[in-house]
């Protein structure tokens, strides 16, 4: 049974067991019901395959009569929540920092602020920043600020600091292309505590486009096609090195405690003197992603849908289109 609970990230941020998602999110999920048949199934999955596991979904399924033995434990759900916070991406970037021919962003471009003063000092230093709540849904919990904080920004920062304990503050970069690396964390091997069958499996790439932090759609293309487009700007060896080291980081952090999909969002951006740089640790999602669905559509439904390599886009609310979205000329 697929559960398209796209409100998953909002549930994690709410902290309420009986959280009721906004009407707009419910309506979005209804409009996107068609994508359920394209959701990939992780290895070792049970009868229920959700968009993401959280405490609110567990409570709902228990009320509907699903036995507790078929659901994740509270400890597993708490682990998912804590490792869905944006601090994990901060940690990943620190892990990756250095090497790669100087083509990846410095870990100093972003801080985890615990006070309004830290936020203001970083903004004064950088001039343009993006403020992010540690937990939030797509396009939610993100604010773009230039120059100084407005009173509405201050109020948002205070509320976020109080409710989530931190605000992620990033220098705003000139994004050229957004993409993701997709992974799967294997199940725990029988009789070997804390190890994973097959470890971390790389599933491929997702090349997507967004507007002010809100996801819009994915290019439908082979992994080779996407990698070639990215490699023209940063080099295939750099992509391979990042992929290997991200997999090692996920192995250390997640194996034995989480089973399922992981999407690591990244982007290319313009650095100094027009050079193209890479930010390899924007977000880490421990759940289904639109990129995984796009990957599954192209890899397993290409012939029936008559998809050309790189000539179609997947958009949850518009379907599969035969032209690349004009909102992203880089695809």
Q: Please spell the DSSP secondary structure of 266-327, one letter per residue.
A: EEEEE-GGG-EEEEEEEEEE-S--HHHHHHHHHHHHHHHHT--TTTEEEETTTEEESS--TT
* Residue 314: exposure state from Cβ atoms within 10 A (0-12, 13-18, ≥19): buried
Q: Is-above-0.75 flag for pTM?
A: yes
Q: Looking at the chain, which residues constitute the CATH 3.30.1490.20 domain(s)?
A: 107-171
C-alpha angle 255-258-260 in degrees, rounded to nearest 5? 105
The Cα–Cα gap between 111 and 167 comes to 8
pLDDT at 122 over 50: yes
For residue 241 the two structure tokens come to 């090195």
pLDDT per residue over 254-300, tens digit each?
999 999 999 999 999 999 888 999 999 999 999 999 999 999 999 99
Q: What's the Cα-to-Cα distance from 243 to each of 72, 126, 240, 246, 306, rounded to whole Å? A: 29, 29, 5, 5, 30
Phi, psi of 309 (to 5 degrees): -70, 110
174-321 CATH, one of 1.20.120, 3.40.720, 3.30.470, 2.60.40: 3.30.470
Q: Looking at the chain, which residues constitute the CATH 3.30.470 domain(s)?
A: 174-321
**pLDDT reported for residue 325:** 52
Residues 246-279 as b or e (16 or more Cβ within 10 Å = b): bbebbbebbbbebbbbbbbbbbbbebeeeebbbb
pLDDT per residue over 133-153, tens digit each?
999 976 679 999 999 999 999
**pLDDT reported for residue 329:** 47
Confidence of residue 324 (pLDDT cuts 50, 70, 90): low
Q: What's the Cα-to-Cα distance from 296 to each of 36, 131, 208, 220, 302, rounded to whole Å? A: 11, 32, 14, 10, 9
pLDDT at 215 over 70: yes
pLDDT per residue over 304-322, tens digit each?
999 999 999 999 989 998 8
The Cα–Cα gap between 197 and 139 comes to 35
pLDDT at 194 over 70: no
Torsion of CA 50, 167, 144, 230, to 10 degrees: -60
Q: Are strands 260-270 and 49-50 parallel, antiparallel or unpaired?
A: unpaired
pLDDT per residue over 22-80, tens digit each?
898 889 999 999 999 999 999 888 889 999 999 999 999 999 999 999 999 999 999 99
107-171 CATH, one of 3.30.1490.20, 3.30.565.10, 1.10.260.40, 3.30.450.20: 3.30.1490.20
């Amino acid at each position: 049974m697929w559960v398209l609970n796209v409100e998953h990230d909002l549930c994690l941020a709410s902290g309420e067991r009986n959280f009721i998602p906004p009407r707009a999110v419910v309506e979005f999920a209804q409009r996107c019901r068609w994508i359920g048949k394209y959701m990939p199934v992780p290895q070792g999955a049970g009868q229920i395959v959700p968009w993401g596991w959280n405490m609110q979904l567990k409570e709902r399924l228990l009320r509907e009569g699903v036995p507790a033995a078929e659901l994740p434990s509270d400890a597993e759900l708490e682990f998912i929540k804590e490792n869905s916070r944006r601090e994990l991406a901060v940690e990943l970037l620190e892990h990756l920092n250095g090497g790669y021919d100087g083509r990846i962003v410095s870990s100093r471009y972003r801080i985890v602020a615990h006070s309004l003063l830290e936020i203001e000092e970083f903004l004064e230093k950088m001039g343009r920043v993006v403020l992010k709540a540690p937990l939030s849904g797509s396009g939610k919990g993100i604010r773009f600020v230039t120059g100084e904080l407005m009173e509405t920004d201050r109020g948002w920062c205070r509320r976020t600091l109080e409710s989530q304990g931190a605000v992620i503050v990033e220098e705003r970069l000139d994004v050229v292309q957004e993409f993701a690396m997709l992974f799967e964390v294997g199940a725990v091997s029988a009789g070997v505590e804390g190890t994973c069958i097959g470890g971390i499996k790389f599933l491929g790439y997702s090349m997507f486009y967004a507007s002010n932090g809100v996801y819009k759609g994915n290019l439908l293309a082979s992994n080779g096609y996407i990698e070639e487009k990215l490699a023209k700007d940063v080099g295939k060896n750099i992509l391979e090195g990042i992929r290997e080291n991200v997999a090692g980081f996920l192995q250390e952090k997640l194996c034995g405690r989480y089973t399922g999909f992981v999407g690591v969002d990244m982007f290319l951006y313009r650095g100094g003197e027009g050079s193209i740089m890479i930010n390899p640790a924007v977000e880490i999602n421990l759940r289904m992603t639109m990129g995984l669905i796009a990957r599954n559509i192209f890899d397993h439904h290409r012939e029936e849908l008559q998809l050309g390599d790189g000539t179609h886009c997947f958009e949850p609310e518009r379907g599969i289109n035969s032209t690349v979205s004009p909102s992203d000329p880089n695809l």
